[in-house]
Amino acid sequence: MTSEGWGTPPVEPISQHYIVCGGNALAHRLVLELVDHYEVPVVVLVADRTRDHAPQIEQLPGVAAVVEYPSVTDEALRAVSVGTARGLALVEGSDQENIHAALSAQNHNPDIRIVFRMFNQRLGENIQRFLRNGAALSGSATAAPAFAAAALGRPNSVEVDGRYLHIAFDDAITSDRICMVADRIDRQDLGRIRLLPEEDGGSAEFVRLASEFGDDGPVLPGRARREPVPPAGPEEPPGGRAALQALPVEPREPISWVRRLRWRVLDALRFFTSARLRLVLLTALAAVLMSFGVLWYLNRDFGWTVYTSLLDLAGAAQPDQRADVAAGTGTGGLWQRVAQVVITICGITFAPVATAIAVEVLGSGRRGLPRNPGAGTRDHVIVVGLGNVGTRVATQLHELGVPVVCMERDPQARGIAAVRALGIPVVLGDGPFEEQLRRARLRHSRAVVAVSGDDATNLEAALEARHGNPEVRVVMRLFDDDFAAHVYRTLDNAASRSVSYLAAPAFAAALMGSEVRGTLSVFRHVLLIADLTVEDGSGLIGLNRHDLEDPGGVRVIAVRPARTGHLQWNVPDRTRRLAPGDRIVVAATRSGLARLTTVLVEDGGEQVTANG
């Protein structure tokens, strides 16, 4: 690896390489993906080689060069030989800067594959139309479902043609599973997990037969009589398994209208938290009820009494005139007038409180206005940090019908306006986490999701949350894998996720030309759901499932033959060979998808691999 000075092109001429622009955590993981799994030459363009993850990137074996430029300009692109590069990944900078750099790169090299990070996904989809060979991805959008699902204690899902794929563990695995995705799961030692084990062939059928034949055991293929199946060896312990399953719809979090009404009532009760105020209001209420009883006793007409009392309570009483009383045309006797006076005076006490409640309820519903967590906030998720990831997580939880409260120390954070527009309460301030979490009503929350950009800050928030509510579920954004392993061993009811670890495989696959539909988390491990189309000249032509699948790497979960036009799940025919126009959906590990992507491709009669 060579390390070049600012403004200096690579020392040695280079071509057929891949360029990564950025020095953040996502760039670090992406470079690792490219050099470890795809084994392609990588040139990295950083703004400052002494900051962020640039020093670690510079030490990675397999990196051809690290070039330093303050921004991705035409001069910087020429310095990294964009004209002879095969791919360019823009994973740092604002949406506007990445769009400008992508268009500039296409002018230098019309055939280059461009993958750029965009927070505004809709804008990214529109920009893709201006690129001959480009894809816009959002790292936060890729990772957010895993964080939201971890907060709810359920697996995240990936939508493929109307089915929602998710991972079920142990007892939650049903007989209609698509394939096994992991075994040897030990929550105290996550390094023992084996992904995509080769066990669907015979064992799944044995389990089915065992349930049919009872205690005598299943019938083994090729045997004339029933014989017990030998017990599993020590390498396959009972339990600790995960399987890929499908849901017809994405489940929303069920919250009944009764619970929502109770939350509203509790919100209203926060106006009566002062002991003196409660005493005044209770005294006034007792006086109103006594006066109401007097009016009812005198009139013997319940409906008319209610009508008169409400008008008096609102201050609309019409006092009797002396002349009317002398003429005998007044509304009633002395006691009725006394009762109406009492009700009217008490109405002066109730009116400001009722007005405050109405203004708060109506005003908090206006889009974009600040809203504090109410006293009735219950069973909610607290999201700490409103960067790109935190905003996505809060939005997704809100769409699932889950109450959310956000915490942010920076009043200028870009996500504040977005979540306030959805009516999500935000706790702002730079005070201690203990106080901020108390304001966010930690004691009544179901989970805390700490997704700031700093591991130590996220751990501090999680520990303070666990101290304030020992039963709360904590989900942390952690980059360091060893750090995360210690967290799993130390904290119960806790989970950690890494945005860069979840997003980098999708960016790498997109850079190599694959379409990744989403990522599924098996604790800290990642499975990719990828959609591949067999095109003319592709090395996939003529291969069958036996050729494509390999233990620990790839499972074919659906096939769409070109002639039918719809996906077939769990296709039993493993010998059918792929033809041009076919489409396959695979579940793969990062290395498995890399091997599948680098299948030999015929290009003008010459076979070349993905690394040229």
What pLDDT sits at residue 269?
61
Domain-ending residue, one of 497, 521, 541: 497
Residue 361 corresponds to which tokens in the numbers above?
Answer: 């309820």
Do 405 and 354 lie in a common domain?
no
* CB-CB contact of 479 with 455 (8 Å): yes
Instruction: Evaluate whether residue 277 is within a structural domain.
Output: yes
Asked if residue 153 lies in contact with residue 401, where contact means CB atoms within 8 angstroms, the answer is: no
The pLDDT value given to residue 99: 94
Q: What pLDDT was estimated at residue 225?
A: 40
> What's the pLDDT at 1?
47
Q: How many domains does the chain have?
A: 3
pLDDT of residue 383: 95
| Percent of the chain that is helix, strand, coil (3-state, to 5) | 40, 20, 40
Domain range for 351 is 258-364
Asked if residue 350 and residue 459 are part of one domain, the reply reads: no
Q: Is 593 part of any domain?
A: no
Q: Are residues 15 and 124 in the same domain?
A: yes
Query: How far, in Å, CA of 590 to CA of 530, rounded?
Result: 11
CA 603 to chain centre: 40
Nearest CA to 75 out of 108, 49, 41 is that of 108
Residue 423: which residues within 8 A CB-CB, separation 6 or more?
364, 365, 367, 371
Residues 18 and 66 in one domain: yes
Position 97 scores a pLDDT of 93
Both 283 and 330 in a single domain?
A: yes
Got the DSSP string for 136-201? EE-HHHHHHHHHHHHHHTS--EEEETTEEEEEEEGGG--TT-SEEEEE---TT-GGG-EES-S-TT
Longest pairwise C-alpha distance within the chain: 117
Residues 131 and 8 in one domain: yes
Answer whether residue 543 is part of any domain: no
CATH number, position 397: 3.40.50.720
pLDDT digits 0-9 by tens, 49-62: 898 899 999 999 88
pLDDT tens digits for 228-252? Answer: 444 443 444 444 888 888 888 766 6
Kindly state whether residues 10 and 120 are assigned to the same domain.
yes
CB neighbour list of residue 380: distance below 8 Å, 6 or more residues apart = 373, 402, 403, 404, 405, 441, 444, 445, 446
Q: Indicate if 386 and 357 belong to the same structural domain.
A: no
Q: Quick one: pLDDT at residue 233?
A: 39
Domain for residue 426, yes or no? Answer: yes
Domain boundary among 469, 497, 525: 497
pLDDT of residue 93: 87
pLDDT at 177: 84
Boundary (domain end) residue, out of 480, 497, 514: 497
Instruction: Let me know the angle formed at the C-alpha of 531 by 528 and 532, rounded to the nearest 5 degrees.
Output: 120
Burial string for 285-313 (b: 16+ CB within 10 Å, else e) reads eebbeebbebbbeeeeeeeebeebbebbb
Report if residue 185 sits inside a domain. no
Same domain, 333 and 394: no
Q: What is the pLDDT of residue 213?
A: 53
Identify whether 40 is part of a domain: yes
pLDDT of residue 20: 96
Residue 456: per-residue pLDDT: 86
Same domain, 392 and 271: no
- 526 within domain boundaries: no
Whether residue 81 is found in the same domain as residue 2:
yes
Q: What is the pLDDT of residue 32?
A: 93
Residues of the chain with pLDDT under 70: 1-12, 187-188, 190-191, 199-239, 250-257, 259-275, 277-278, 307, 311, 314-334, 337, 356-372, 375-376, 599-612
- Residue owning tokens 């109307």: 162
Q: Are residues 318 and 431 in the same domain?
A: no
Q: How far apart are CA 45 and CA 51, in angstroms?
A: 13
Residue 289 lies in a domain: yes
